[in-house]
């Protein structure tokens, strides 16, 4: 597949993801297979966040071994790569869209449980405009984004969806061990206690 086709497909995919994640409710699909578990306080219809139609053809499984990557810190723009991964603990990658209510809810819940996730590294990754990402954390999880074990990264080259995985729902969580091997992954929101348990798998 040549580079033009890959870039064209990723551009269409990204546009589709951004549209599908808005909370207008106009994007409804009958798919309830991946219904997300949330607190009873949120009665939002989760079916509207199925992104399967926008995803380019690719393996449905994420990379079993973490490939080389380059992302950039939200505030400083400093390059982050595999060399920056902890050698003695799990790293959790959370691919998210600032406009997705499920992503907002997960970030809020993780912030409430920040003491339970201090022994894992968390990389929040977005392909969106840095200003939107900054607003997301300022609004929903300001303490989480400033935690010493949490990095907020911008994926300006769309490395994640080209090298690691194309998710069908946001937020998409991936737990990699210190050895670079995939331990767990899920798409869409998970009960916070189950999610934290998987972070420590």
Per-residue tens of pLDDT for the chain, all 201 residues? 444 444 444 444 444 444 445 333 333 333 333 333 333 334 444 444 444 333 444 458 999 999 999 999 999 999 999 998 988 999 999 999 999 999 999 999 999 999 999 999 999 999 999 999 999 999 999 999 999 999 999 999 999 999 999 999 999 999 999 999 999 999 998 999 999 999 999
Residue 180, pLDDT score: 94
Strand order in the sheet with 91-95: 79-81, 70-73, 150-154, 121-126, 91-95, 172-176, 182-187
Q: pTM of the full predicted structure?
A: 0.74
pLDDT of residue 60: 83
What confidence score (pLDDT) does residue 11 get? 43
Residue 21 has a pLDDT of 52
Cα 77 → chain centroid: 19
Q: Where are the beta strands (DSSP E) in 44-165?
A: 70-73, 79-81, 91-95, 121-126, 150-154
């Amino acid at each position: 597949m040549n580079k033009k086709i890959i870039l064209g497909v990723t551009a269409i995919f990204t546009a589709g993801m951004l549209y599908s994640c808005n909370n207008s409710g106009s994007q409804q699909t009958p798919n309830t297979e991946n219904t997300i578990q949330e607190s009873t306080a949120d009665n939002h219809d989760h079916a509207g966040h199925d992104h399967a139609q926008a995803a380019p053809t690719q393996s449905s499984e994420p990379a079993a071994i973490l490939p080389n990557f380059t992302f950039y810190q939200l505030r400083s723009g400093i390059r982050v790569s595999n060399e920056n991964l902890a050698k003695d603990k799990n790293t959790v990658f959370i691919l998210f869209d600032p406009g997705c209510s499920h992503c907002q809810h997960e970030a809020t819940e993780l912030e409430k449980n920040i003491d339970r996730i201090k022994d894992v590294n968390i990389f929040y990754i977005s392909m969106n405009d840095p200003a939107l990402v900054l607003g997301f954390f300022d609004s929903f999880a300001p303490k989480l984004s400033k935690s010493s074990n949490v990095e907020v990264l911008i994926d300006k080259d769309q490395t994640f969806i080209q090298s690691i995985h194309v998710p069908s729902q946001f937020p998409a969580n991936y737990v990699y061990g210190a050895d670079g091997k995939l331990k767990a992954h899920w798409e869409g929101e998970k009960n916070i206690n189950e999610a934290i348990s998987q972070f420590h798998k």
